[in-house]
């Protein structure tokens, strides 16, 4: 029995055999020729057999997969024996090139061609590169790249998952995730939470566990046990027989009826429709940059109106908070950001791009106004990465000019949290981006697994800044001119929401409520757990837990104190 400690990023306790993510397939030697005792026809036949094996394997996996994974695997299977790809490789074999190098070159050529065609064709590029690697692996007797195939459910171990791996991850087969790298905001962590898979990241050595070894994984405490004992087996069994999570009833509140609307974070119309189905009371964060990632030119007014309209349409009469482009740092958009900046997280990102690329923001606000006019959603607009009251005021002016009446800001820079009263007196609402607020408060890059313990929203310094923001918002509300009348003043009170990953942690959601946050926005998958845990406490209990968390000296202490006072977490296996 060996215990590995990592960071728990998605709760759940499971037991199962480990399967390791194979390393990427190495590029074949550029000068590789096939041997003199073989023939062009013989090598072409070898390539064709390998391509056929890859196609059959992907097809078999598609048949036993579910949902999105099935569609992706089906499309990739067809690509494996694509005549254009095999013909291009054949030409290289005619010139004496070894088949693995030939398919490597052909894959590159076909991918470049598809890329140049743009649109749907460009989206197939990844499939070509994927089958190319699979055929090379097959020719050289290497394990196929990507999520391993298996007939039995398993716990996947990896260094870190790439976005492309996620498409073929079948939640019916993969029952847990462990990575040696990655932090709470890493791609693996976000994916695990959105699929509801127990996961531990930043677990050193987890990737070296041999295939087939039995693992126990506790995604709440961040523990991985290799060849577990009786206690772990019992814990996994208890988790398997936990009470089912109640379906979220669409009304977030504490047990004594204090309302905390539970909203969803989305990046597209498709996400928004799924969020509405999961009972979200509205959208707390539409990441508009997600609609246009990978684009190298500014989207047209029509494209923007269509993308935003698709989200508004899913929530008629409901609140939809749309965030203007948050380009920069981990989300570069070539038409707004400078890839050569030495410190992108501290560079021209979010609202700051309005200074370097004037006009893009005004045009985006115009598109939001047009889309908003065509739908019934209650549209609120916020700017990311605002640091000062002047920036908040500038954004409010731009919103007014576009005819948008609910301007707000993200509070994700410590300066804005400290100056919340001044910042909020310029706009109508704030949304705490705890992912960035944590990274900037702790001076710890949110993408670095090695800094994951610092990058934890339970850090008391982060909780103090959240509390300072809520207090600043209350002062900004109290300062509203008396002559506006109490009804108007109430309508104009400065709401503070949370839309960072912190809101999706049910125990932390209780603390945030106790601090006085008004709304919580999260991945739709978290709505039922957050809704259930919130409904298990009164407002007074939430306030008491918040006071205890705020008084803690360390993140671990805050988390342990609060979790130990929420028995429902154990009952629901959270
Ligand atoms: C919600 C946030 O924004 P993003 O994760 O898109 O930076 C945040 O920083 O918490
Ligand atoms: Mg952010």
Q: Give the distance (Å) from ligand 2 centre to CA of residue 119.
A: 28
In this structure, are residues 418 and 466 in contact, taking their beta carbons and an 8 Å threshold?
A: no
Q: Give the distance (Å) from ligand 1 centre to CA of residue 433.
A: 5
The Cα–Cα gap between 522 and 273 comes to 15
Residue 499 bears catalytic tag = yes
The Cα–Cα gap between 160 and 532 comes to 31
Which of 133-137, 288-292, 365-369 comes out lowest in average pLDDT?
A: 288-292
Q: Give the distance (Å) from ligand 2 centre to CA of residue 550.
A: 23
473-504 pLDDT, tens per residue? Answer: 999 998 887 655 556 656 688 999 999 989 99
Q: State the chain's mean pLDDT as an integer.
A: 91
Residue 338 counted as an annotated binding residue: no
Angle between helices 360-373 and 301-313 (to 10 degrees): 40
Measuring from each residue's beta carbon to the nearest atom of ligand 1, which residues come in under 6 Å? Answer: 285, 287, 326, 412, 433-436, 499-500
- Rg of the chain over Cα atoms, rounded to whole angstroms, equals 26
Burial 53-84 (b: 16+ CB within 10 A, else e): bbbebbeebbeebeeebbebbeebbebbbbee
Question: Which positions ≥6 away from 478 have C-beta within 8 Å?
Answer: none
DSSP string of 272-337?
Answer: HHHHHHTT-SEEEEEEGGGGSTT-SSPPPHHHHHHHHHHHHHTSTTSEEEEEPP--BTTB--TTT-
Question: Which positions ≥6 away from 552 have C-beta within 8 Å?
Answer: 460, 558, 561
Note the ipTM here: 0.99
**Nearest Cα to 498, choosing from 437, 445, 555, 425?**
437
And the tokens for 165? 């791996």
In testing the pocket of ligand 1, which one of 184, 321, 326, 442 has its CB within 8 Å of the most ligand atoms? 326
In this structure, are residues 529 and 245 in contact, taking their beta carbons and an 8 Å threshold?
A: yes
Which of 91-95, 166-170, 453-457, 487-491 comes out lowest in average pLDDT?
A: 487-491
525-541 pLDDT, tens per residue? Answer: 899 999 999 999 999 99
Ligand with an atom nearest the CA of residue 500: 1
Check residue 489 and give its pLDDT: 58
Tell which atom from ligand 1 comes closest to the C-alpha of 329.
7
Instruction: Give CA separation, 116 vs 122, 164, 396, 555, in Å.
Output: 7, 20, 40, 49
**Nearest Cα to 431, choosing from 422, 420, 441?**
420
Which of 114-118, 412-416, 469-473 comes out lowest in average pLDDT?
A: 114-118
Segments making up each domain of the chain, as ranges: 2-21+152-240, 40-139, 262-571
Q: Give the distance (Å) from ligand 1 centre to CA of residue 385.
A: 9
Q: Give the distance (Å) from ligand 2 centre to CA of residue 434.
A: 7
pLDDT average, residue stretch 562-570: 94
pLDDT average, residue stretch 270-275: 94
Instruction: Give CA separation, 271 vs 186, 277, 569, in Å.
Output: 20, 10, 27
Higher pLDDT, 36 or 381: 381
- pLDDT band for 9, please (50, 70, 90 cuts): confident
In this structure, are residues 431 and 410 in contact, taking their beta carbons and an 8 Å threshold?
A: yes
**Closest residue to atom 5 of ligand 1, CA basis:** 435
For residue 427, pLDDT over 60 is answered with yes
Which of the residues 92, 187, 291, 399 is marked catalytic?
A: 187
* CATH architecture assigned to 2-21+152-240: 3-Layer(bba) Sandwich (3.50)
Check residue 68 and give its pLDDT: 66
Ligand with an atom nearest the CA of residue 435: 1
Residue 291 bears catalytic tag = no
Which of 51-60, 179-188, 267-276, 334-343 comes out lowest in average pLDDT?
A: 179-188
245-255 pLDDT, tens per residue? Answer: 888 999 999 99
Higher pLDDT, 521 or 206: 521
Number of Cβ within a 10 Å radius of residue 3: 11
Residues near ion ligand 2 (CB < 5 Å) are: 412, 433, 436
Tell which atom from ligand 1 comes closest to the C-alpha of 433.
10
In testing the pocket of ligand 1, which one of 328, 412, 466 has its CB within 8 Å of the most ligand atoms? 412
Ligand with an atom nearest the CA of residue 455: 1
**Closest residue to atom 6 of ligand 1, CA basis:** 287
Check residue 163 and give its pLDDT: 58
Residue 412 counted as an annotated binding residue: yes
Residue 318 counted as an annotated binding residue: no
- pLDDT band for 565, please (50, 70, 90 cuts): very high
Burial (CB < 10 A; 0-12, 13-18, 19+), residue 120, is: exposed
pLDDT average, residue stretch 343-351: 94
**Nearest Cα to 388, choosing from 347, 352, 346?**
352
Q: Name beta bridge partners: 10.
A: 199
SS (H, E, C) 216-233: EEECCCCEEEECCCHHHH
361-388 pLDDT, tens per residue? Answer: 999 999 999 999 999 999 999 999 999 9
pLDDT average, residue stretch 57-71: 78
pLDDT average, residue stretch 201-215: 90
- Asked if the domains 2-21+152-240 and 262-571 are classified in one and the same CATH topology, the answer is no
| 40-139: in CATH 3.90.190.10 | no
Name the class of domain 262-571. Answer: alpha beta
Q: Name beta bridge partners: 2.
A: 226
Positive or negative, the CA dihedral 42, 47, 48, 54 is positive
SS (H, E, C) 169-212: CCCCCEEEEEECCCCCCCHHHHHHHHHCCCEEECCCCHHHCCCC
Check residue 332 and give its pLDDT: 81
pLDDT average, residue stretch 13-32: 92
Burial (CB < 10 A; 0-12, 13-18, 19+), residue 378, is: middle
Which of the residues 92, 291, 399, 499 is marked catalytic?
A: 499
Q: Give the distance (Å) from ligand 2 centre to CA of residue 412.
A: 6
Residue 436 counted as an annotated binding residue: yes
Ligand with an atom nearest the CA of residue 385: 2
Higher pLDDT, 445 or 512: 512
């Amino acid at each position: 029995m060996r215990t590995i400690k990592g960071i728990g990023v998605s709760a759940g306790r499971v037991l199962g055999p480990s399967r390791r993510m194979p390393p990427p397939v190495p590029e074949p030697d550029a000068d590789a020729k096939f041997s003199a005792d073989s023939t062009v026809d013989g090598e072409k036949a070898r390539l064709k057999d390998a391509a056929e094996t890859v196609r059959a394997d992907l097809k078999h996996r598609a048949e036993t997969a579910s949902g999105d994974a099935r569609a992706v695997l089906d499309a990739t299977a067809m690509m494996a024996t694509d005549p254009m790809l095999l013909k291009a490789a054949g030409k290289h074999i005619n010139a004496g090139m070894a088949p693995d190098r030939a398919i490597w070159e052909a894959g590159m050529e076909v991918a470049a061609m598809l890329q140049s065609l743009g649109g749907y064709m460009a989206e197939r590029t990844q499939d070509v590169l994927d089958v190319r690697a699979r055929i090379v692996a097959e020719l050289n007797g290497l394990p196929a790249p990507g999520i391993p195939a298996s007939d039995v459910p398993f716990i996947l171990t990896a260094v870190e998952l790439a976005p492309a791996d996620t498409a073929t991850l079948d939640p019916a087969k993969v029952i847990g995730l462990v990575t040696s790298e990655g932090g709470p905001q890493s791609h693996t962590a976000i994916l695990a939470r959105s699929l509801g898979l127990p996961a531990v990241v930043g677990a050193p050595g987890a990737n070296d566990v041999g295939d087939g070894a039995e693992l126990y994984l506790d995604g709440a405490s961040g523990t991985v046990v290799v060849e577990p004992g009786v206690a772990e087996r019992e814990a996994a069994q208890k988790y398997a027989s936990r009470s089912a999570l109640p379906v979220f009833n669409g009304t977030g509140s504490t047990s004594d009826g204090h309302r905390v609307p539970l909203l969803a974070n989305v990046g597209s119309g498709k996400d928004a429709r799924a969020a509405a189905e999961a009972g979200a009371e509205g959208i707390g964060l539409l990441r508009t940059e997600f609609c246009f990632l990978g684009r190298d030119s500014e989207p047209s007014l029509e494209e923007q109106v269509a993308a935003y309209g698709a989200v508004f349409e899913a929530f008629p009469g409901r609140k939809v908070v749309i965030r203007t482009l948050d380009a920069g740092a981990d989300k570069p958009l070539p038409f707004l950001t400078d890839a050569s900046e030495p410190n992108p997280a501290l560079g021209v990102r979010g609202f700051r791009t309005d200074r370097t690329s004037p006009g893009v923001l005004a045009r985006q606000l115009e598109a939001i106004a047009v889309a908003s006019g065509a739908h019934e959603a209650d549209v609120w607009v916020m700017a990311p990465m605002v640091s000062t009251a002047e920036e908040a005021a500038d954004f409010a002016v731009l919103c007014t000019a576009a005819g948008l009446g609910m301007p707000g800001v993200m509070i994700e820079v410590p300066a804005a949290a400290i100056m919340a009263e001044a910042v909020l007196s310029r706009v109508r609402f704030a949304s705490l981006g705890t992912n960035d607020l944590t990274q900037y408060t702790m001076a710890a890059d949110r993408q670095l697994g090695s800094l994951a313990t610092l990058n934890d929203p339970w850090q008391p310094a982060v909780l103090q800044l959240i509390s300072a923001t809520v207090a600043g918002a209350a002062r900004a509300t109290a300062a509203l001119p008396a002559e506006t009348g109490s009804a108007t003043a109430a309508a104009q009170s400065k709401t503070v929401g949370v839309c960072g990953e912190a809101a999706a942690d049910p125990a932390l959601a209780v603390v945030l409520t106790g601090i006085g946050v008004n709304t919580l926005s999260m991945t739709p998958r978290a709505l039922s757990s957050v809704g259930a845990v919130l409904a298990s406490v009164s407002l007074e209990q939430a306030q008491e837990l918040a006071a205890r968390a705020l008084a803690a000296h360390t993140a671990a202490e805050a988390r342990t104190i609060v979790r130990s006072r929420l028995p429902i977490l154990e009952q629901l296996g959270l």
